[in-house]
Structure 1
């Protein structure tokens, strides 16, 4: 074998070996510590769709362990509905004078959103602090949840308020089957 053939053979082997090598994987970021607040207030823009109908507007939500107050407003700022949840049950008041009572907010929330979302899980979801039975499938570069599967829902966090690991989400996309919810949070306020 000539020197030229030997060099070509060695070069070919080196190229093949390089092509088979797997690139080094960068280590996954450590999981960011996320603690859900017991009480908060948020304001944002909400859109919901069930595959046939869609609605959008503004949302004002005050959450406490034993109480939730949701106010849904039209895109022009008129109150569409108010939903209150307490330990005693839930009450929905609509702009057309309707008044509906139920044992839980789970029964009434679909009347406003058109989508059946699990009310008890929403406080954790909007804080990117899902419960222990949720599956965190992806994390962002800061170690925060980017994709979570919980109670049959897919929860995506494409944007946070800042690069800090403890920053709250700015945008949340929820989906299950044809149901879609998007919340863009304009302001977060921890409540003492």
Structure 2
């Protein structure tokens, strides 16, 4: 009986040891090297979810974003896959399909807000979403990645962003969760997948 008891204690200890979490979070050797990677990363895609949260409501949508230098396409769909907002920006203008109609303009952010009511600081977010704190005050985590930033959009509105859950895509560590905040508005990004279409 004593031998059997010791045997089960041994098995229990081994199983407990096997459950100790391993720190496999991605790390950057240096911040300057990582930031150069992000600055050179100009062609990419991401997919996930985006939530707009105000004191009055919460709207959750599926997100697809494709970036090619300064040109991009952003598509928001509802839970059954129907398009809510489709934005295409090229060098000359912005084209938005909303509520079955097509609109054109020069100021992407203003046009989105006028049509849908959504506030998205796209001009600065093209860098911030990658974890590159362009024109912002920022803090790093212990892995030399962006932890938080405070910056302004092109309308001089203050935003704060918290970053979490970095994962490695083609040797570049990219955030998979971030939350943007300004008075009476939060934007929560939960990114499922990054695709890099050029090597930084």
- Per the normalisation by structure 1, the TM-score is 0.75
Equivalent position SS for 2:173: coil
Residue 103 (structure 2) pairs with residue 100 (structure 1): yes
Q: Which 4+ stretches in 1 moved above 6 angstroms?
A: none
Secondary structure of 1:128's aligned partner: coil
Aligned position for 1:22: none
Tell me, yes or no, if structure 1 residue 129 matches structure 2 residue 135: no
For residues 114-147 of structure 1, what are the alpha-carbon distances to aligned partners after superposition, in whole Å with 9 as ceiling and x for unaligned?
442321111111100121x2100x3212011111
Structural RMSD (CA):
2.2
User: Do residues 175 (structure 1) and 181 (structure 2) align?
Assistant: yes
Matched, 1:87 2:91: yes
CA distance in 1, matches of 2:122, 2:176: 19
Shift of 1:113: 6.5
> Corresponding residue for 1:16?
none
* Contiguous gaps of at least 5 residues in structure 1: 1-28
**Matches of 1:31 and 1:68 in 2, distance apart?**
27
Task: Report what 1:71 is aligned to.
Answer: 75
1:55 corresponds to which of 59, 73, 81:
59
Gaps of 5+ in 2: 1-28, 153-157
Check whether the contact 1:49–1:114 (CA below 8 A) recurs between aligned residues. Answer: no
Number of equivalent positions: 160
Rg larger for? 1
